[in-house]
DNA sequence: TCATAGATTAGAATTATTCTAAACTAGTTG
DNA sequence: CAACTAGTTTAGAATAATTCTAATCTATGA
């Protein structure tokens, strides 16, 4: 869902995914998909919504994040045992993770290469290859 | 902590790490470091301990896993938002993660290569590069 | 054997997330 | 437009992994 810039467009895309363009979903999509790619947690998106004057419960933020993920608008990134991140960039790319700040930074997919991945164990197929470059203050 | 096979050896290594070789720590180390490398969760290790007749609380399992990690005997692997895995293989290697089963399988470090990792953002240094190959039933 | 710093533990607390079930609303139908 | 209803939102309860508390134990050196 690269450019979900315009509101009417948002409604169309939500419908196409079988999701009613409710006020909450439309406004959350507005935060998430207007402008550049972003990485959010349920908590961070809820806080941002509150600051933006969007009235939405935390339960709905969770529901919406999962629905957007199922629709392919978001993808989950597992880097921290404590909380889940959602990424508006669903294309092929990887991440720096700044552990102390809980901050994710994109690494373009073309830039990084993983080779020598062995064949998947019998009966299994590779779903995706995730690379996390953990960085710290030296 | 590649070979912690003998009990006397375990005590020595625990002491070297500033940890008293208590019954619980010694027995948990016996489970973890005897034989091949393994991947455990707090829950799985607690269950295994119970089956083995080791009397230890879940709180102590958590404490011990974290102390062993701090001592460099274990390392944490973040692959699942729901729970934390600990790996007795602290050397350079990567993982297959079988999502449906919650199973981790080692990929030797020499086998897999990551190239094109961009320079870390200003003020930060690369701590480690984690690769997770997520596999599924096709 | 004592003293004591360190360790264990039951149970309470915390935290992220999910669930429940009641109130609401978008979209359809008449 | 009014009525209907399936889908949605939400407060609050529930869950589950993990951590904390503070009371009881134990490894160890004197
Ligand atoms: Mn989920
Ligand atoms: Mn949790
Ligand atoms: Zn990203
Ligand atoms: Zn491993």
Backbone phi, psi, residue B94, to 5° = -130, -175
**To the nearest whole angstrom, how far is the Cα of B24 from the nearest Cα of chain A?**
26
**To the nearest whole angstrom, how far is the Cα of A117 from the nearest Cα of chain B?**
5
B82-128 per-position pLDDT tens digit: 999 999 999 999 999 999 999 999 999 999 999 999 999 999 999 99
Is this model's pTM higher than 0.85 or not? yes
Gap between the Cα atoms of B135 and A124, Å rounded = 6
Backbone phi, psi, residue B20, to 5° = -65, 135
Residue in B81, B120, B131 nearest the CB of A96: B120
Q: How many C-beta neighbours within 10 Å does residue A50 have? A: 12
Cβ of A90 less than 7 A from strand D: no
A121, A129, A137: best to mutate for the B interface, most B CBs within 10 A: A129
Backbone phi, psi, residue A133, to 5° = -95, 105
Through-space separation of residue A15 CA and nucleotide C30 C1' in angstroms: 25
- pLDDT of B5 higher than 50: no
Cα→Cα distances A46→A52, A90, B71, Å:
10, 21, 38
Is residue B96 a contact partner of residue A93, using CB atoms and an 8 Å limit? Answer: no
Cβ of A28 less than 7 A from strand C: no
Range of the domain at A13: 1-138
- pLDDT of B80 higher than 70: yes
Residue in B83, B113, B124 nearest the CB of A98: B124
3-state helix, strand, coil in chain A (%, to 5): 30, 30, 40
For chain A, how big is the Rg over CA atoms in Å? 17
Tell me, in angstroms, the distance from the centre of ligand 3 to residue B96's CA: 21
pLDDT at site A8: 67
| A82 in contact with B, Cβ within 8 Å | no
Gap between the Cα atoms of A119 and A126, Å rounded = 8
Q: How many C-beta neighbours within 10 Å does residue B71 have? A: 15
Tell me, in angstroms, the distance from the centre of ligand 4 to residue B77's CA: 8
Q: Total domain count for chain B?
A: 1
Query: From first to last of its 138 residues, what are the pLDDT tens digits of chain A?
Result: 444 444 668 999 999 999 999 999 999 999 999 989 999 999 999 999 999 999 999 999 999 999 999 999 999 999 999 999 999 999 999 999 999 999 999 999 999 999 999 999 999 999 999 999 999 998
| Pairing label, strands A125-136, A93-98 | parallel
Percent of chain B with pLDDT over 70: 94
CATH number for A127: 1.10.10.10
- pLDDT of B21 higher than 50: yes
Q: How many C-beta neighbours within 10 Å does residue A14 have? A: 21
Is residue A125 a contact partner of residue A117, using CB atoms and an 8 Å limit? Answer: no
Q: How many CB pairs under 8 A join A and B?
A: 121
């Amino acid at each position: 869902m690269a450019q979900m810039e315009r509101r009417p467009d948002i409604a169309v895309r939500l419908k196409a995914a079988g999701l009613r363009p409710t006020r909450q979903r439309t406004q959350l999509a507005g935060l998430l998909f207007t402008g550049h790619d972003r990485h959010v947690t349920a908590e961070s998106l809820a806080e941002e919504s509150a600051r933006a004057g969007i009235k939405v419960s935390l339960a709905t933020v969770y529901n919406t994040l999962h629905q957007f993920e199922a629709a392919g608008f978001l993808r989950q990134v597992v880097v921290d045992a404590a909380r889940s991140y959602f990424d508006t960039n669903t294309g092929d790319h990887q991440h720096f993770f700044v552990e102390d700040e809980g901050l994710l930074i994109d690494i373009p997919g073309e830039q990084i290469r993983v080779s020598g991945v062995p064949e998947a164990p019998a009966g299994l197929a590779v779903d995706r290859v995730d690379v996390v470059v953990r960085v710290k203050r030296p």
